[in-house]
Chain A
Amino acid sequence: MNKEEILGKLTAIFHEELDNDDIVLSFETTADDIEEWDSLSHIQLIVAVEKAFKVPFTSSEIQSWNNVGEMIDCIIAK
């Protein structure tokens, strides 16, 4: 999958996990840009992303991400 395809799949996950189909993700999106993306929903997002892409993350990887693009880079690197 390329970055755009992963972004599309992530968007669907965000819609499902955050119960908001209006969310538009970009590579620069951060938690500050999405009202529903709080500390607890972040945990569920990570679990859902790990499951969807069949990739386990480490806590240090998660903490290093500054935006959705860096999450995608991490998925590609797995």
Chain B
Amino acid sequence: MILQLDTIFQHQFKVDDSVYNGFINTFDDQNSLHINDEFAQNKGFKSKVMHGNILNGFLSYFIGELLPTEDVMILSQTINFKNPVYLNDILNFEAVVSEQSEAVQVNTFKFKFVNAELKTVASGKIQIKELT
């Protein structure tokens, strides 16, 4: 297999205006929690909360662009949101190859996103197949 068990990948992502506006322009999710600071503050958040699925976009970038091969496809992914992400947050991403199946060339990653306050904002698993 191209990837090796226990290999760790790290990357830093920033949820900047370009990412935030790009997501809204593409998917049109304008729920008040995501666009209205006052609304979000009334719900107990610091400011408007970024869409959780922005992180799924980062996961797509990780699989598509950061692995040592392009010969991969995602089979499944799960993500659990644990803490809010705010505009301009910098997220440290780490993924480790936690399981492999040689027979079908499948790798499972455990991943997490950690914010500047060292809080895990999301974690989960991605299963990918190496294409031969």
> Using a CB–CB distance below 8 Å, which chain A residues touch chain B?
40, 42-44, 46-47, 50-51, 56-59, 61-62
Given A47-B127, A56-B101, list of 6 further CB < 8 A pairs?
Answer: A43-B106, A43-B129, A46-B103, A46-B104, A56-B103, A57-B103
| CB-defined contacts of B103 to chain A, threshold 8 Å | 46, 50, 56-59, 61-62
Chain B interfacial residues counted at CB < 8 A: 11
B99 lies within 8 A of chain A by Cβ: yes
Given contacts A43-B129, A44-B127, A59 and B102 within 8 Å (CB-CB): yes
B26 lies within 8 A of chain A by Cβ: no
A46 smallest CB distance to B (angstroms): 5
Judging by beta carbons under 8 Å apart, are A58 and B102 in contact?
A: yes
CA distance A40 to B103 in the complex (A): 14
CA distance A40 to B76 in the complex (A): 10
Judging by beta carbons under 8 Å apart, are A51 and B99 in contact?
A: yes
Judging by beta carbons under 8 Å apart, are B75 and A59 in contact?
A: no
B53 smallest CB distance to A (angstroms): 22
Contact of B75 among A43, A56, A58 (CB under 8 A): A43
Given contacts A43-B129, A44-B75, A59 and B104 within 8 Å (CB-CB): yes
Q: Which of B102-132 contact A (CB under 8 A)?
A: 102-104, 106, 108, 127, 129
Interface centre among A43, A47, A50, A59 (most CB of B within 10 A): A47
| CB-defined contacts of A51 to chain B, threshold 8 Å | 99
User: What residue in chain A is nearest B129 (Cβ atoms)?
Assistant: A43
Judging by beta carbons under 8 Å apart, are B102 and A47 in contact?
A: no
CA distance A13 to B127 in the complex (A): 17
